[in-house]
Every structure is written in C-alpha cells, then in structure tokens.
Amino acid sequence: MDTQDLTAARTLQDLLEADAVLPEQFFAPRGSTQSSGERALMWAVFADGIECYRRFAFATTTAGQVAFLEAESWIFQNDWDWPFSFVNLCAVFGFDPAGVRRALLRWRQAHRRPAVRRQRFRPATLRAA
C-alpha cells in the first residue's frame, strides 16, 4: 500500500470514528486545482452524508428513519452525473466508494442494537378485569 492509499485510509478512518472535522481536513493540498472553498463544500457534503447515516441508523422516529433512508440512498447510488454524488466525492478525496460502503455496513452491523420488545404498563387494577 503506497503512502497515498495510507493517507486516504487514515482520513476515512478518522471520518468514520471522529465526531468533529478538523480545519486541516477542509483545505486542499498544495498544488490542487480546486479552490479551498469548493473543496470545503464537497467535504461538508460528504461528511454530512456519512454523519446522517451514522446518526439515524437506528432511529425510531419517522423523521429519523426518513433521514437515514435518504443518506443510505445517497451512499449506495452510483450516480456519476451529479457533482456532489457519493461516488464523485469519493473520487475527489481519493476514497474507494465500495470500501467506504463496506466500512459503513461493518460499522452498522457492529453497532446494531438487539431488538428490545417494549411492554405496555398496565396498572394492577386493569389486569384483574
């Protein structure tokens, strides 16, 4: 694995583990053809999509489930036409889209909560009836 692959792997690992994004992650490396503002926006979209996937992966509210499905749909689509699609942003940042997807699926599986059945509370007076 060359240094560019190691750098991309470390950045991806930091993204999946950290809750904060450092200022250094926003700015383009020297010699980049994109301005830092464009790159910052791309990174914000990429990080927000992954954060929504993680934050709402186990949502129980309708709004949370909708947010998760939108993030999941964005991550698993292979849309090369839209500049801010998941696969295009992965290409900009040097990530393998399939590798990021596998990492997210592993994360979700590892953090899956066992199904807990809720029981209704019934006062003792109603149980006898």
Kindly report, residue by residue over 64-89, the tens digit of the pLDDT: 999 999 999 999 999 999 999 999 99
Q: What is the pLDDT of residue 21?
A: 52
48 has a pLDDT exceeding 80: yes
Q: What is the pLDDT of residue 3?
A: 72
Of the candidates 23, 6, 84, the residue with the CA atom closest to the CA atom of residue 49:
84
What single letter denotes the amino acid at residue 11?
T
Calculate mean pLDDT across residues 58-63. 94
State the Cα–Cα distance between residues 104 and 126, nearest whole angstrom. 46
Q: What is the pLDDT of residue 63?
A: 95
106 has a pLDDT exceeding 70: yes
State the Cα–Cα distance between residues 51 and 64, nearest whole angstrom. 13
DSSP string computed for 30-89 = TT-SS-HHHHHHHHHHHHHHHHHHHHTTT--SHHHHHHHHHHHHHHH----SSTTSHHHH
Q: What is the pLDDT of residue 33?
A: 54
The pLDDT-based confidence of 25 (bands split at 50, 70, 90) is low
Query: What percentage of residues in the chain have a pLDDT greater than 70?
Result: 64
